[in-house]
Structure 1
Amino acid sequence: MTRPHLLYIAFSFPPSTASSVYRCTAVANAFIAAGWEVTVVTLSEEIWAEISGTDFGLVDSIDPRVRVVHVDDGGAEEPNRRDLRRYSRLRIEAPYLWKELFRRRHRADFPEDFHELWFAPASQAARAIHAERPADLVMASASPYISFKVAAQFGDVPYILDYRDAWAFNTFTGAENYAPDSKHGRLENDYLNKALQVWFVNEPIRTEYASRYPDAANVMRVVPNGFDPQPGHRKSAAHATNAPRFGYLGTLQYTAVPLDEFLGGWDLAFGGHDAPPARAVFRGKLSPSGLVPADVLDIFNSGVHHGLSYEGPISKRDVSNFYGTMDALLLLLPPGKYVTGGKTAEYLATGLPIISIHDPDSAATQLLRDYPLWFPATELTVKSIAQALLDCAKALAEPDVRRWDAAWTYGQQFARSNILNPAIAQLQALTGSGGSVPDSAPAERNDS
């Protein structure tokens, strides 16, 4: 029997270091494991190298049977390019004006800043792939949302829309970007109503979308983020320490997370002469592009905040080694009830204590509330954050082995395969495609 063919439109894919690449890679690998052919249309790796950095270690995590087709950006990433030789006089002398003119010009045909330009190269590549080996299913990961337009162009080929965020509203503030009955809203509604399924990363976003577009609510489902076991993934032994090492790994988004509140809480907990000699090590990027002002770097490495350090990005393939050197993990997330955080499931899978520094009503709380080693700041105040840090330090000084064991067991349920296998099995039933879900696929679960 010929294997069914998934055509996957994923703007971000290894070696990109965008946080979305982990979900996209896992989806492609899971379809391969379920007996599909997979072809990915993604952005050229040379462009990622210029705009936000690359991690070629991530390429090793792609199943070698996945076919990856890299295409040009069509000019979509021009505002993020840093090669001054490309800049016009207007861009050099009036960069904000140049960017606004660029944005307006390229929203004319599709309601998204800049990325409409990716449609031509991505569409051309997708059509060529479909002509060579017809797709049984198309899937589009967003953002950018131009991926939806690429996926919807094949007429009778069913497609899946995977929302890693929200197009209709700001997931941090909840503010509406456009009304359902606007021109933009009607376009989104059309995509949703023609989709075979629409995936969301958590229940709060799905609920909001179902409210906005009730006619499409029946095809909406939650497919949460999970963790992808990396080399060295193993249970950490519970050992007593009076000099705890707290770790943060990920893209910090320093302008959005409660960084000032955390710094105040850290200083209150560990800045005094009689405080425990704690350390906090930050790894990853401090912004999506990796560019930050010098004063932000000084926050970590100037010595003003005792014990804090920033030690740069880390390859995805080395994350288990990093976690193995930490005693507890810091979960700093942007505000908003719609925010789960890409790292939350991975943190849970370590079995280490987690200090939550985010809104108590965040979607991440739904994943964490039953975790045996969860130390939440009950409020985003300096005092509350300090108390959470000290409570964790106390638990580390006298660890309860049974509690550590329970945390490890709890965290392993968030393996990405536990989440994706049932979702893919359902798609195979809906499309009548062949394939074969691995025998170990567990029953469907809802992490939302």
Structure 2
Amino acid sequence: MRFGYVGTLTGNQPHDKVWAGWRVAKADPRMESATMNLYGHLGFFGVSRAVANVLPTGDPTQDCTWHGPVAKAEIGAAYAAIDVLVMIVADSPYVTSGKVFEYMATGKPVVGLYEPDCAVADVLDDYPLVVKARSLEAADVAEAFVEAERLAHTVTPEQREAAMRYAESFERVRQMTPLVEDLGAIAARRRRAVASGREKMGRQR
């Protein structure tokens, strides 16, 4: 089973907890042949040693590979090479990662590794194929990895369809259309109120 992350890996993400959980999961016989595939920059400016040093890429027993940055034209190939996506998010109650929408658009299982108050939870928690860790403790992270491995083997076409439909609800035009319609209705009411006021003033004169 090919697990994977697509995006910039930063020092703000809970790497210690995530990779402690991965190590526990890899000890499970069901995860023995599972691999972790990382696509993207390590840090925002060049290669961050602080990030690189915490990844289990140097331990052959962990089957974790960093494939480096991915050009925009190759993003699709990176996603196609992954069976289960891993959403690792720095804790923030106000900021969602743009990658969450790409992840959901694949219609694939996603392991959710983030705090309950993280803004990503507002979007990803209701995704039909998300396996969210109950906490970022190693045992709970490992349990989420193992459960996602099981889900990836058993996911049905109907489940994948439901996941795609949910993801499509966040498409930009779908999100903006109701807002544009509401703003149009507000503007129309304003125009009618102004016209009515002018009419009244005209009669008073």
TM tier relative to shorter chain: 0.7 to 0.9
The corresponding residue for 1:315 is: 71
* Cα distance in 1, alignment partners of residues 177 and 30 from structure 2: 51
**1:408–1:427 distance in 2 versus 1, CA, 3 Å:** same
Match of 2:146 among 390, 405, 409: 390
Match of 1:301 among 47, 57, 68: 57
* Cα distance in 1, alignment partners of residues 144 and 67 from structure 2: 24
CA offset digits 1:94-132 (Å, max 9, x no partner)? xxxxxxxxxxxxxxxxxxxxxxxxxxxxxxxxxxxxxxx
TM-score by length of 1: 0.39
Task: Say whether residues 1:252 and 2:9 are aligned partners.
Answer: yes
The answer as to whether partners of 1:337 and 1:359 remain within 8 angstroms in 2 is no
The corresponding residue for 1:331 is: 87
Task: Say whether residues 1:400 and 2:156 are aligned partners.
Answer: yes
1:291 aligned counterpart, secondary structure: coil
The answer as to whether partners of 2:93 and 2:119 remain within 8 angstroms in 1 is yes
> Larger relative contact order (C-alpha < 8 A, sep ≥ 6)?
2
Match of 1:276 among 32, 43, 53: 32
The answer as to whether partners of 2:42 and 2:51 remain within 8 angstroms in 1 is no
Counterpart code for 2:9: L
**1:344–1:298 distance in 2 versus 1, CA, 3 Å:** closer
Counterpart code for 1:376: K
- The Cα shift of 1:362 comes to 1.3
1:248 aligned counterpart, secondary structure: strand
CA offset digits 1:117-159 (Å, max 9, x no partner)? xxxxxxxxxxxxxxxxxxxxxxxxxxxxxxxxxxxxxxxxxxx
* Cα distance in 1, alignment partners of residues 153 and 112 from structure 2: 19
- The Cα shift of 1:367 comes to 1.0
The answer as to whether partners of 1:263 and 1:305 remain within 8 angstroms in 2 is no
Counterpart code for 1:389: F
* Cα distance in 2, alignment partners of residues 380 and 395 from structure 1: 20
The corresponding residue for 1:229 is: none
Match of 1:291 among 40, 43, 47: 47
Q: Which has the higher helix share?
A: 2
The corresponding residue for 1:366 is: 122
**1:420–1:320 distance in 2 versus 1, CA, 3 Å:** farther
Aligned residues: 188
TM-score by length of 2: 0.80
2:115 aligned counterpart, secondary structure: coil
**1:385–1:314 distance in 2 versus 1, CA, 3 Å:** same
- Runs of 5+ consecutive residues of structure 1 not aligned to the other structure: 1-243, 433-448
Counterpart code for 2:69: P
* Cα distance in 2, alignment partners of residues 279 and 414 from structure 1: 30
After TM superposition, the runs of 4+ consecutive aligned structure 1 residues lying more than 6 A away are 425-432
- The Cα shift of 1:368 comes to 1.6
What RMSD, in angstroms, separates the aligned Cα atoms of the two structures? 2.6
The corresponding residue for 2:192 is: none
